[in-house]
A = this chain, B = another copy of it.
Amino acid sequence: MISAAIVGGTGYTGIELIRLLSAHTEVSIDLLTSRSEAGTRADEIFPSLRGVSDLVFSDLDDKTLSTLQQCDVVFFATPHGVAMRQAEALTQAGVKVIDLAADFRLQSLSDFEHWYQQPHTCPDLLKTAVYGLPELNRDKLANASVVGNPGCYPTTAILGLKPIIELQNQQAIRLIEPRIVIDAKSGVSGAGRQASLALNYAETTDNFKAYGVTGHRHLPEIEQGIAQLLNSQFTHRVRFLPHLIPMIRGMFSSIHMELTEAGKDIDWQKEFEASYLSEAFVDVMPSGIYPDTRSVRASNRLRIAVHQDNERAELTALVVQDNLVKGAAGQAVQNMNIMFGLNETLGLNFAPIVP
């Protein structure tokens, strides 16, 4: 059994990790920490865990830190800036680290420091960290000791663009125009488990709005995905605008692109299907069928539909996922499976919840 710890288990990604790992046949959660809830049983805070887990939150003190070093893997479901303070000691002790926050997502120090407004405490380790998007980094992940689990929006954006950028590289000609508009929408759980007037039910329900209009931290991550991860030979200008949907889970990204003449010659449905043929968790919808967020609710699947209109030179990719699963905890478990040589789908192969 893999001995796992979850640091910061009181948020929505935390409880989702507990839910997934509790059902994972090859993992035991041996440690669960929380500053605010030290000494409390997890199922007191989350009654849904009654009968599922009898774990008790530990404080993140020295004793806990040394216990962490005896685990095989530590998941950080903490705010930005926590994992990077522990990662070095853990990796030196041979413990694998998966950070669900942003500490190891951006390769560029200046980008990290600009967008997260803090210095990075382990730049050397950052160089060795792997961006945890299995569909692109599977091989690197197999030997990774530190993994930066992708942001929820970038997961949809990068996987929605992958077949296009890759084919563009391969053909060495622009297939879409430089400007890409990503109009994205997320359920409220993405804002985290916190007391906040803006997240109050009566403020959020029967309401819809944009946020991060002037710039969102996931934009540089998407740009990095296109430039480095997908090694785009061509530059693209991305407009990324997130919105808040009055629903708990689910993310919907509408990616608007303009086809070049060369791009019109491609059968994009065929290309997308080919690109993800062997992927267990990426589902390309049949031509003419468009996804809704509930079709992936509480599952690790991400679904993509592509719509091509040569007359109007339009290419649209619609991408849905559960922001807490493929967009966070599920992808972290998928990364863990790869890092430990397990079947990538282990503990993740369950059906979405509909209705």
Chain B residue at minimal CB-CB distance from A183: B183
Interface flag for A293 (CB, 8 Å): yes
- Whether, in the assembled complex, A309 has its beta carbon less than 8 Å from a beta carbon of chain B, the answer is yes
Residues 297-355 (chain A) with a chain B CB within 8 angstroms? 297-299, 301, 303, 305, 307, 309, 312-314, 316, 318, 324, 350-355
Category for how many chain A residues contact B: 35 or more
Q: Are B354 and A48 in contact (CB under 8 A)?
A: yes
Q: How many copies does the complex hold?
A: 4
The B-contacting residues of A in range 266-283, CB under 8 angstroms, are 280, 283
- Nearest-neighbour CB distance to chain B for A190, whole angstroms, equals 9
Interface: A144 (CB within 8 A): no
Q: Is the CB of B12 within 8 A of A355?
A: yes
Query: Nearest-CB distance from A210 to chain B (Å)?
Result: 6
A209 within 8 A of partner (CB) = yes
| In contact, B47 and A289 (Cβ under 8 angstroms) | yes
A237 part of interface (Cβ distance < 8 Å):
yes
Interface string of A135-174 (1 = CB under 8 A from B): 0000000000000000000000000000000000000000
Of the candidate stretches A74-82, A123-131, A247-255, the one touching chain B is: A247-255
Judged by a CB distance under 8 angstroms, whether A105 is at the interface is: no
Q: Which residues of B contact A318 (CB under 8 A)?
A: 210, 213
| Docked complex Cα distance between A206 and B188 (Å) | 10
The segment from A85-93, A94-102, A196-204 that touches chain B is A196-204
A12 to B197, CA, bound (A): 12
Interface check A15, CB cutoff 8 A: yes
Residues of chain B with a CB closer than 8 A to A245's CB:
208, 245-246
Q: Is the CB of A243 within 8 A of B248?
A: no
Complex Cα distance A248/B208, Å? 11
17 further contact pairs, Cβ within 8 A, besides A19-B351, A50-B295, A237-B313: A15-B355, A22-B351, A23-B351, A48-B299, A48-B352, A50-B283, A51-B280, A177-B179, A183-B256, A195-B197, A200-B201, A201-B203, A208-B250, A213-B307, A239-B256, A246-B246, A298-B298
The 10 residue pairs across chains A and B that have the minimum distance between CB atoms: A209-B292, A183-B183, A48-B352, A202-B355, A201-B204, A207-B294, A48-B354, A47-B295, A188-B201, A195-B197
